[in-house]
Chains A and B, each alone.
Chain A
Amino acid sequence: MKNLLRGRLFLGALSITTVLVIYVVVTNQPDNNPSLLPPISLIIGSFFTNLEAGTLLDALSASLFRIFLGFLCGTTAALVIGCLVGWYETVEYLVDPLIEAVRPIPPLAYIPIVIIWFGIEEFSRVLLISIACFMVCVVNVIAGMKNVPKVYVDAAATLGASRIQIFRTVAIPAATPFIITGYRIALAAAWTTLVAAELIAAPNGLGYLLQEGRRYFLTDQVMMIIVIIGVCAFSMDRAFRAIQKRLMVWSEARE
């Protein structure tokens, strides 16, 4: 087990190092154009410049705020509605066709209408992220509720559980693996939507810095922001996995 883990860490580090080495070699070629492929030193330089100027932290906090708020609203709505749809057939027949009809629309397609209705405001950006989180999450919550094994429901019923007790003590725990997966996918969707929304309409945030980099041809800044987004999204997903592992101690498949 320990060997395997070490092997895994080693292989992961190996692939990242390889990419970095290739990048360094390419950017060190005499005919490399640094405004297309800035050397790593320039990218790191841009990081410190933006850090000292305060622009980086401002952008990061603005973006993280939107992510957290949008994620929270979107997944909470998905949890409530998904549970109702997955558990009560009447609600399912009522709401499911609507969800199925709206689901294939990419969240970014709402950008124009959201801007028309609510303007280029903070609310619009958070709303877009909420929609994106909701859509991917609700499907998983519904699937979780529908896949509760019948024998557990029957067992609880014959032990005297009421419908609502079965929901609370059987359906919710049995569905948690699906629900947590839904939350993780929602987090990824939040990042995708965030950057897109900020690229188009935001006075600040990571997407804004990207856009600014493009406009003034600051390729090093663009590269730096891409790396930052990658690191943030990755570490949040890791945190989520840790939570998942904690909540799923009882499950045979814990990954």
Chain B
Amino acid sequence: MPEIKVNHLSHTFGKNTPAALTVLDDINLTFPSGSFTSIVGTSGCGKSTLLKMMAGLFVPSDGEMTLDGDVINGTDNRRGMVFQQDAVFPWMTVAKNVSYGPRLRGASRAEQAEIEAKWVEMVGLKGFEDRWPRELSGGMRKRVDIGRVYANNPDVLLMDEPFGALDAQTKERMQSDLLKTWNQTKKTVIFVTHDLEEAIFLSDRIIVMSARPGRIRHIEEVSLPRPREDAMRLESEFLDIKRKLWGMLEH
């Protein structure tokens, strides 16, 4: 059961130098197995830093994180991450990007083809399998990124503003697809976003962070029933949560 725990985690960039910058301060969180949690907070409050540490890309200066009780130390394929920046490999076609993870672990040609077909379709890029990333728009590249992580089938999905570059319709479709996938697989999802509506629509729980240093300001439980429908976006309960969180993010 993929449960992530964050214990007394603090992080300072450039510790013991004049330019030291404390980004995260004493963060304590539990992400239960199969839960969907969003993190919101102003720009620069340390959301990406927190996510990268959970992925195992670097070590916090204090405290620790555990996955099912084991301290996270280094990267592995159990925690997949969609980066805020464009991370599609430009030297691989769309299909080869998507099947990159399974190929690393020696998937056969047939298995790769099957994975490619399934996930390219899932992220709505059918017909673009053999294109180079330079031939795609920014939003399409983001979808390749997402497909590549989905296709790798991690237990925990760390997503750093994955839908930020998409137009409203594609975004809503990707959100519904994400919920569908999550429903089928019950992965633990940790989702960073600037979009409150997106956070409310998707999550069981929303973590609001404050900046400099990054601390947890508030945790909002979202009790809207599942499966979530697009119509819920206009219900008063939904809008109440939005208003409340909006006020917290203001000042």
Contacts and interface: CB of A to CB of B under 8 A. Distances in A.
A165 B104 contact: yes
A169 B148 CA distance: 15
B72 to A, nearest CB: 12
B132 A157 contact: no
Contact of A151 (B87, B105, B152, B158): B87
Interface stretch (A118-126, A186-194, A247-255): A247-255
Interface residues of A, number: 20
B14 interface: no
Interface in A1-53: none
Tell me what chain A mostly uses at the interface: helix, strand, loop, or mixed. helix
Nearest to B151: A159
Which of A151, A174, A250 has the largest number of chain B CB atoms within 10 A? A250
A159 B104 contact: yes
A241 B10 CA distance: 51
A174 B87 CA distance: 12
B196 interface: no
Contacts of A251: 90-91, 134
A250 B134 contact: yes
A159 B100 CA distance: 8
Contact of A250 (B81, B85, B132, B148): B132
B190 to A, nearest CB: 13
A173 B89 contact: yes
B85 A151 contact: yes
Interface string B146-159: 00110010000010
Contact of B79 (A152, A156, A158, A173): A158
Interface string A146-185: 0000011011111111000100011001101000000000
20 contacts: A151-B85, A151-B86, A154-B83, A155-B89, A155-B145, A156-B100, A157-B56, A157-B57, A157-B75, A158-B79, A159-B77, A159-B80, A159-B100, A160-B104, A161-B104, A173-B91, A250-B92, A250-B132, A251-B91, A251-B134
Interface of B: 52, 55-57, 75-77, 79-81, 83, 85-87, 89-92, 100-101, 104-105, 132-134, 145, 148-149, 152, 158
